[in-house]
Structure 1
C-alpha cells in the first residue's frame, strides 16, 4: 500500500478553480437559454392575445353592419333614422363624432357594447370588451346614368347610404386593444 505522504507536498487548487469557472459558464448558458425561452413564450402569448382582439373587432364590424342594415331597412329618411338611433349612431356634420383614440369614447356610452350572449361575438374573457359605433356619411354618388330616371332627373331612391363603422376590442390581457374601421354602402 502506498503512503500518501510520498506525493508532492502541496497542490495549488488549479483544477478546482478551472472546474468552478466551467460550472459558472455552464450556469450562465443555462440561464440565458431560460430567459430566451420565456421571452419567446411571452411574445407568442402577446401575439395570440392581439389576434384574439383582432378577430373580436372584425366580428364587431360585421355585427355593426348587420345592425345598421336592420335599422335602415324600409326607412324613408335614413339620416333621421340614424339621428334618432341613440348612442352609438352619428351623422357626419350633424353630430359630434367621437374621437376613436380616446378611451372615454368606448366607455362613456358613445359606443354600443356587444353583450356576451351574442354569437362572436363577445368573448367574456376579453378584458376591455367589444364595442362599435356607426357614422352615417351621406349618400354614395354614382357616375353616368346610374342615378337618372327616365325623365333625366336624379333618382333619389337609387342612392345608397354610406356608413363608416368603427369597432374596438381588447384581448384577455388589459391594455391589448385593436381598433378597426371600414366604410360600406348598404
Structure 2
C-alpha cells in the first residue's frame, strides 16, 4: 500500500489562500524547487481536488509559453507526463493523463498503486484526513501573514501527528514534515 502525502504551502498564520482566494505569495526558490522535483520523482500519482485541478490544468500545459521562471520551466514537463487524478463529483473527464475519482474510496484504491502526492486542496485534504487516508503532511511555511482566507486543514476532529523533519529552504521557507500517529 502506498502513502498519501499532503503537500501544502501555507502562511505563518495558517492560510493556504489569502482573502478572495489570492495565491501570489508562495516563493519557489532553487532549493525548494529541487525538493519539489525530488518529491514529484518519488511518487506515482499527483492528486488534486477539482478547484486546484482547474488552476493546475489551465497553467501547466502551457507554462513555458507564459513564464521563464526556472521552477516553471522544470516542473511543466514533469506535470504533463506524470499520472494524475482529480477528485470530483462534477467532472467526467479531465485530460492530461488524468483520471477522475469519486472520493475517499477512489483515493484508497489509488494508494494501492503506489505513493500519491496531494498538492494543495485544503478541503479535499481535510476530508481525506478525516477518512484516515493521509499518511504524511508536508507543510511549507512561507514568511507571510495573510490575515484571512482558507485554512490549511479543515478537519472534523483531532489528528495526532509526529514531527519527522524540519528544515529551511532558500533561507525563507520552512518545511515541517509530519507523519500521522496511528
TM-score (norm: length of structure 2):
0.23
**Larger relative contact order (C-alpha < 8 A, sep ≥ 6)?**
2
TM-score (norm: length of structure 1):
0.23
Structure richer in strand, relative to its length: 2
